[in-house]
Amino acid sequence: MNVSDDGLLPAAALFHGFSDPNRIAILRHLALGEHRVVDLTAHLGLAQSTVSKHLACLKDCGLVDSRAEGRASVYSLSHADALMAVWSAAERLLELTGDAVVLCPTYGVDTLVPAS
């Protein structure tokens, strides 16, 4: 089986978009409603450059939309309902796997270093 012929690469790219804790935090915060970069930096305690970098990534992935409001951009989720379904499924998988995911030597929490 050739992974690239099986349509798995787009799925892997999607999950790679979720692979940074900062991006997940931004997405979860945008689930509460529209925000400007300055709002997200204040709420999440992240640097403006970090938030901007991750928003650009999420926008390139089609997960986030933006619109101009004065001199600022306002960001929102592109597909809020679908993203909520993904969060629900992820929470269910985390319930089922328990510490297995957390303690995994390859992808567990000790291997995660949030990008700044």
Q: Determine, yes or no, domain membership for 44.
A: yes
Give residue 46's domain range. 3-78
Q: Determine, yes or no, domain membership for 102.
A: no
Q: Positive or negative CA dihedral for 82, 88, 90, 92?
A: negative
Q: Are strands 64-69 and 35-36 parallel, antiparallel or unpaired?
A: unpaired
In this prediction, residue 114 carries a pLDDT of: 57
Q: Determine, yes or no, domain membership for 65.
A: yes
Q: Determine, yes or no, domain membership for 96.
A: no
State the Cα angle at 44 between 56 and 111, rounded to 5°: 75
Q: Determine, yes or no, domain membership for 21.
A: yes
94, two tokens: 């985390």
Pairwise pLDDT comparison (99 vs 23), residue with the higher score: 23
Give the separation between CA 39 and CA 33, rounded to whole angstroms.
11
CATH code where residue 60 lies: 1.10.10.10
85, two tokens: 């379904």
* Number of domains, the chain: 1
Task: Output the pTM of the full model.
Answer: 0.83
Q: Determine, yes or no, domain membership for 11.
A: yes
Q: Determine, yes or no, domain membership for 116.
A: no
For 1-19, the DSSP string reads --GGGGTHHHHHHHHHHT-
Q: Determine, yes or no, domain membership for 9.
A: yes
65-110 residue pLDDT tens = 999 999 999 999 999 999 999 999 988 988 898 778 777 788 787 7
